[in-house]
Structure 1
Amino acid sequence: MKPNDLLAKHSFWLGRIGILLAVLMIAALVANCSSKKDIYYCPMHPHYTSDRPGTCPICNMDLVKKEDPSEHKDHSNSNISSEVVAGSKEEDHTSHLPETSSDKNSKDLILSFEKQQSIGIKTELASRRNLIKKISAYSSVAYDPELYSALSEYKEAVRSSEFLSPEIIRNLQLRLKQLGLSQDQIRVWTSGARDPSELILGGKSGRAHIYSQIYESDFTTAKVGLPIKFKTDVYPEKEFIGKIKSIDVILDKNNRTLRLRSEVSDPSQLLKPQMFGDAMIEVSLPKVLSVPTSAILDTGKQKIAYVQTAPDKFQAVSVQTGKNIEPWVEILSGVQEGQRVVTESTFLIDSEAKIRFGSESHAH
């Protein structure tokens, strides 16, 4: 064979081999791109991700595999048919679920039963409960020379009303209201049923006057006439029982408190002016729609709770809360009676929702 023919033959086979290698490389590249890589993230720090199992370098918590939402469409759990999970049109007409997956705007977070167990999700029903609100208030036995002087001036003005203008008496009465007395209390103190000197010398006739400070957040709960229990370290085994008589009308701007005026039974006249102690007020709140306080997430802009809409579905809802009665919180709107809300691992399920839906997970 001539050298030229041999060289041509080698060139021919080298070209064929080059084409074959290029085809194999392209096939490998396509296969590598089409294969899905598992992604693992930290439930406490969802911004940290890894392509393999392990622990979070920030908190040493085990990484959790990020699930593809499409994989759940064929996953049946807790006796839910695959047609319901997939959201078939036939089941959409008969399903009693609050939200159907055929709704394009649905923000249901789908979590398998195994995933719920792995992150420790627990739920509880929103229901009406008979609750007791307890208010503990820093208190002291009354020593109030300012109110004593105002009452004495008013009593004297009433006795001399024929010589004074009605305007003067009205101004003196207004001053008493500013100091916290109701119209009924003014009438009691000036009728002779109460001696104003009790406010500077101590209780008489088996009673003592107690001043208590409550925060403005408890103002709607505390009412005139509610029972009160006063205790002092001077008599640690003794409890003085009484009732709230009046509530100041002006808020203390420095510590955001209001003053309660109460009368307690003290037949032995043990309590002395300016003796310190604590008052306990218990308020019964019947049939309050409530959930555990752990069910509420405060984002700063709104409060949200995660409602379980199906055994494997959860949805973030905006809620409005009322009174906080540990360990419960009153629900004013957002969650209906009988709905089940997430009470444990609320932060973790919120992190999962943010990973899947982004900031839109709270747009409800």
Structure 2
Amino acid sequence: MNRNWKALVLVIVGLLVANAAFLYWWTQRTHGTAATETASAPKERKILFYRHPMQPSITSKVPSKDEMGMDYIPVYEGDEDNANSSTVEGRASFPLSPDNQQIIGVTTATVSRQPMSRDIRATGRVAYDPELFAAIEEYRQALLAKQQLKNSSYEGFVEQSSALVKSSETRLKLLGLTDEQIRQLARGGSQAINLILPQGKVWIYAEVFEYEVTGLKPGQKIEAEAPSIPGEVFRGTISSISPVLNAPTRTIRVRAEVPDPKGLLRPDTYLNVRILTSLGEQLAVPDTAVLFSNNQAYVFVKDAGERFHPRAVQLGAKVKDYYEVKDGLEEGEVVVTAANFLLDSESRLQAVIQQKGEAPPESEKKPPEAAHEHPHGDQP
């Protein structure tokens, strides 16, 4: 009997020891795994407070909703200093939740490079220019006289002939000819008679508005149609662009040479001219993304944190529905293309708040419930 009790006691003691050993092992294993996971897990960012999605000056220490039922935006440690990155006077950067963006209809587009070209339309006419014809003939006569007198023993004749050539060249430049065209005239490479009596090739004068001249250069293709000659299209190339602006019409004369083997075009025939220009591949944004204020163009750039930044831009040519961007944006940035007038209103409001320091101190800020009853400011 005593043996049985002793055996039972030994079994019980053994089980207790085994159980204690197992608990010790399990505790060490669990604590070690937890410590490893804690060391390897990334540190969570601390939420400092919550900000009204439309009025950053209204904050809350606890999650809340605005007057429209939208969630307040959490502000994390390190992000509390929302510096104003606006480059437009009187505007400020601000956040806007995705829900509110959807409500007001915000749409965006990515800034990218794309091939751009444009057609310039202008009125024109077949050249009938007796004055230019006379100036060309005068220049050629001056060149001939200089050639004949170059070996003269009387220096006065040589000087006078050179001065006459210079004077004729200046007159041609004032009439719109380029240095290259004048050199061609000196080599006999242009038929001046075409200015008054076209023979197989005519000169065309197209009056192009000064703001459209940028990018035009000799050698570009043109097309011309005469209402008096339906069904015929005359194609040629630009030969020169006048350096002189016609003040009353604010246009610049573009000269082109056009083959006319049938002799259909008569001097002074009215023409509709189309100039084909290529701007190459340029950085561009939709025209709906651009706003103007005080002669300054700007856009709203959206960042990854759902903040909108007014950004001044320098624009180039406008081609169809796009503006060429010279400066202010980089490829891949996101710009607003719709509801930007509403964003502009909010941006101006935030600029006023920042300038006047109207944001109340933390002790005076109303709780979310009060914000529901007495909303501050206008929403865009």
Answer yes or no: is 1:313 the counterpart of 2:302.
Answer: no
| Matched AA of 1:355 | L
Question: In the TM superposition, what is the alpha-carbon distance from 1:130 to its structure 2 partner?
Answer: 0.6
Match of 1:153 in 2: 138
C-alpha distance 157-217 of structure 1, shift in aligned 2 (>3 A): same
1:164-188: per-residue Cα shift (whole Å, max 9, x none)? 4311111011111111111221233
For 2:244, what is the secondary structure of its paired residue? coil
Q: Do 1:87 and 1:102's aligned partners in 2 also have CA atoms closer than 8 Å?
A: no
2:179 matched to which residue of 1?
Answer: 183
Deviation at 1:101, TM superposition (A): 5.1
**Inter-partner Cα distance in structure 1 for 2:131 and 2:226:** 24
Give the AA of the match of 1:148. F
State the alpha-carbon separation in 2 of the partners of residues 72 and 180 from structure 1.
Answer: 71
Contact between 1:214 and 1:259, CA under 8 Å: does it hold in 2?
yes
Query: Residue in 2 aligned with 1:95?
Result: none
Q: Distance in 2 between matches of 1:133 and 1:278?
A: 16
* Pairwise CA distance, 1:360: 7.1
Query: Are the structure 2 counterparts of residues 101 and 241 from structure 1 closer, same or farther at C-alpha, using a change threshold of 3 Å?
Result: farther
Provide the residue aligned with 2:344 in structure 1: 350
In the alignment, residue 327 of structure 1 is paired with which amino acid?
Answer: D
Aligned to 1:103: 82
Q: 1: distance between equivalents of 2:238 and 2:226?
A: 18
Can you give the 5+ residue segments of structure 1 that lack an aligned partner in the other structure? Answer: 1-65, 77-81, 93-99
Indicate whether 1:255 and 2:281 are aligned: no
> Which AA in structure 2 matches 1:180?
G
> What do residues 18-60 of structure 1 show as CA deviations (whole Å, max 9, x unaligned)?
xxxxxxxxxxxxxxxxxxxxxxxxxxxxxxxxxxxxxxxxxxx
In 1, the alpha carbon distance for the partners of 2:291 and 2:236 equals 39
Distance in 2 (CA, whole Å) between partners of 1:360 and 1:246 is 55
Q: SS of 2:211's equivalent?
A: helix
2:55 maps to 68
Q: Which runs of 5+ in 2 are unaligned?
A: 1-52, 66-70, 86-91, 150-156, 356-380
Q: Does 1:275 align with 2:269?
A: yes
How far apart are the structure 1 equivalents of 2:161 and 2:186? Answer: 19
Q: Please give the alpha-carbon distance, in whole angstroms, between the structure 2 residues aligned to 1:165 and 1:265.
A: 36
The correspondence for 2:162, drawn from 142, 166, 175, is 166
Q: Specify the SS of the correspondent of 2:192.
A: coil
Equivalent residue, structure 2, for 1:15: none
Q: Aligned-pair distance for 1:354?
A: 2.0
2:210 is aligned to 216
Q: Which amino acid aligns with 1:260?
A: V
- Structure 1, residues 250-289: CA drift from partner, whole Å, max 9, x if none? 1122222211110112111111111112211122222201
Contact 2:301 2:335 in 1 (8 A): yes
Instruction: Provide the rounded CA distance (Å) in 2 between the counterparts of 1:224 and 1:233.
Output: 26
Instruction: Say whether the 8 Å CA contact 1:243–1:264 is kept in structure 2.
Output: yes
SS at match of 1:220: coil
Point out which structure has higher relative CO (alpha carbons under 8 A, 6+ apart). 2
Structure number, greater radius of gyration:
2
**Contact 2:178–2:240 (CA under 8 A) maintained in structure 1:** yes
Quickly say closer, same or farther: Cα 1:101–1:231, change in 2 above 3 A.
farther
Q: Which moved further from structure 2: 209-218 or 111-120?
A: 111-120
Give the drift of 1:309.
Answer: 1.1
Mean Cα displacement is larger for which, 262-271 or 276-285?
276-285
**Alpha-carbon distance between aligned partners in 2 of 1:231 and 1:114, rounded to the nearest angstrom:** 55
The alpha-carbon distance between structure 1 residues 160 and 67, as it changes in their structure 2 partners (threshold 3 A), is closer
Matched, 1:299 2:293: yes
Which 10-residue stretch deviates more, 220-229 or 324-333? 324-333
The corresponding residue for 1:246 is 240
Pair 105,264 (structure 1): closer, same or farther in 2 beyond 3 Å? same
Shift of 1:68: 3.3
Corresponding residue for residue 134 of structure 1: 119
8 Å CA contact retained: 2:145, 2:161: no
Give the C-alpha shift of residue 359 in structure 1.
Answer: 9.0
Asked if 1:340 corresponds to 2:308, the answer is no
Distance 1:273 1:232 in 2: 12
Could you say if the C-alpha distance between residues 348 and 268 of structure 1 is closer, same or farther in structure 2, counting changes exceeding 3 Å? same
Letter in 1 for 2:125: S
Question: In the alignment, what sits opposite 2:68?
Answer: none
Distance 1:359 1:224, change over 3 A: farther
RMSD: 2.8
Q: CA deviation at 1:72?
A: 9.7
Deviation at 1:71, TM superposition (A): 6.2
TM-score by length of 2: 0.67
Query: What secondary structure sits across from 2:164 in the alignment?
Result: helix
